[in-house]
Amino acid sequence: MEFSDTSKVVGPLLARQLYMMAKEYDNVVDFTIGDPDIPTDAAICQAACDAAMTGHTRYSANAGIPELKDAISKRINETRGTDYTANNIVTTIGATEALFIAFMALLNKGDEVIVLAPYWIQYENMTKFFGGKAIIIDKFTKGFEPDIQAIRDAISPKTKIIVINSPNNPSGYIYDDGFLKAIADIANEFGLFIFDDECYDALTYEQEFPSIARYCDKEHLVLFNSFSKAFAMTGWRVGYLAADEEVVTNTIKMHQNIAICASVPSQYAALEALRHADTYSVRVREIFTRRRNVLVEELSKIPHIHFVPPAGTFYAFIDISETGMDSRTFTFSLLKEEQVAVIPGIAYGNAFDGYIRLAFTMNENLIVEGISRFGRFINRLFESK
């Protein structure tokens, strides 16, 4: 059987492979994929059941039920000072599909996409699916803030999109206003699209979350978001994009052919989530704040590793370069020896082979147990040196 060239441009996702490997161990502490153990709030589940029981079991309009699009646009406007309406929204099967249809609608063969590292690998994979080339920026000024000059230098006549993700998966870094303004200026100056993935906007710890939507001209911005993380709704598969009407019209053409519409009971669940967004997402944030603090405290006790406490998301990105091991070898040894599953940093860009990522999506006792095993592993490594 000969598979398509497109099927060959990407391999299986490393993160998913590790997640499957972790399942083979009985007593594993699994810090692999970003899937919170928290159940979706009962009232959100009830809204989906009610929708299904009252006949909302058929296709909706392609871009989603009007009430949900309306609620999404209002929520963005309240929090980002924008002026979107329901006509600027496409509801999708998670932010993953929103990103997919946006890349599909915009990229031509040979187009370049600037991706700020460390980065969610799907940006690069999707770019490749549509014949584009990802240009990775992994030069930093402070923390994980990419060097603006390096971004400017990477722009060519083929550049079409800059992808940013803040709060960032995997680093937990939040870009500040100055950086976001500089990126928006670049997009406006060169007529580029900003793909702004804000999936972790509700999970911030020590600082407010600034959005580039405040600075970027509307016709240059495609904003992506999801119900997965903020409302512990990964399995419901609802996300969206917000953009000007031309982008909306063109992405809907893709969406019609891939999905028709997002799951309708899930859209009603998402509507309920937004109606009481502050109550539901604050609960999720409180849980993750406690977990993050425990994680930071426990990690701080371990010698020879370095990390910046995550400002947002539920990930910690840990520098393990002192061990001298590459991130894959480290990860596989840690899993085998201590049954602690993490993701190798190489999954987030070639510059991060001295890192691992931990998703702290489990309760505090398990976090303490997992980090204590991780510490034991590190200590053993250095005792034998």
Query: Which lies closer to ligand PLP via its Cβ, residue 22 or residue 302?
Result: 22
Nearest residue to ligand PLP by CB is: 94
Does residue 127 belong to the site contacting ligand PLP (CB under 6 A)?
no
Q: Say which residues have a Cβ less than 8 Å from residue 20's Cβ, sequence separation at least 6.
A: none
Distance CA 194, CA 161 (A): 6
Distance CA 314, CA 306 (A): 17
**Smallest Cα–Cα separation from 357: which of 295, 289, 303, 294?**
295
Query: Which lies closer to ligand PLP via its Cβ, residue 234 or residue 333?
Result: 234
* Range in contact with ligand PLP (rule: CB under 6 A) among 73-81, 91-99, 330-338, 368-376: 91-99
Q: Is 110 exposed, middle or buried (0-12, 13-18, 19+ CB in 10 A)?
A: exposed
Q: Say which residues have a Cβ less than 8 Å from residue 178's Cβ, sequence separation at least 6.
A: none
What's the closest the beta carbon of residue 234 comes to ligand PLP, in angstroms? Answer: 5
DSSP type of residue 130: T
Contact 65/267 with Cβ under 8 angstroms?
yes
**Residue 124 CA: distances (Å) to CA of 206, 284, 372:** 30, 29, 34
Residue choice 96, 127, 204, 251 for contact with ligand PLP (CB under 6 A): 96
Maximum alpha-carbon separation in the chain: 66
* Range in contact with ligand PLP (rule: CB under 6 A) among 93-101, 102-110, 156-164, 298-306: 93-101
Does residue 363 belong to the site contacting ligand PLP (CB under 6 A)?
no
Residue choice 77, 234, 289, 333 for contact with ligand PLP (CB under 6 A): 234
Query: Which lies closer to ligand PLP via its Cβ, residue 120 or residue 377?
Result: 120
Does residue 120 belong to the site contacting ligand PLP (CB under 6 A)?
yes
What's the closest the beta carbon of residue 1 comes to ligand PLP, in angstroms? Answer: 29
Query: Which lies closer to ligand PLP via its Cβ, residue 200 or residue 377?
Result: 200
Q: Which of residues 55-84 bind ligand PLP (CB under 6 A)?
A: none
What's the closest the beta carbon of residue 364 comes to ligand PLP, in angstroms? Answer: 22
* Range in contact with ligand PLP (rule: CB under 6 A) among 89-97, 103-111, 143-151, 340-348: 89-97
* Range in contact with ligand PLP (rule: CB under 6 A) among 94-102, 280-288, 291-299, 350-358: 94-102
Site map (CB under 6 A) of ligand PLP, residues 146-185, x = contact: -------------------x---x----------------
Amino acid identity at 223: L
Q: 174 is written with which tokens?
A: 């939040």
Q: Is 13 exposed, middle or buried (0-12, 13-18, 19+ CB in 10 A)?
A: middle
Does residue 199 belong to the site contacting ligand PLP (CB under 6 A)?
yes
Instruction: Kindly report the number of other CB atoms within 10 A of residue 164's CB atom.
Output: 24
Does residue 263 belong to the site contacting ligand PLP (CB under 6 A)?
no
Q: 218 is written with which tokens?
A: 């509307």
Q: Is the omega angle on the peptide bond into residue 344 within 30 degrees of 0, that is, cis?
A: no
Distance CA 252, CA 323 (A): 48
For residue 239, give the H/E element and its range: strand 239-242
Does residue 197 belong to the site contacting ligand PLP (CB under 6 A)?
yes
Query: Which lies closer to ligand PLP via its Cβ, residue 15 or residue 381?
Result: 15
Does residue 349 belong to the site contacting ligand PLP (CB under 6 A)?
no
Q: Say which residues have a Cβ less than 8 Å from residue 150's Cβ, sequence separation at least 6.
A: 137, 139
Question: What does the binding site for ligand PLP look like in residue numbers (CB under 6 A)?
Answer: 34, 94-96, 120, 165, 169, 197, 199, 226, 228, 234, 239
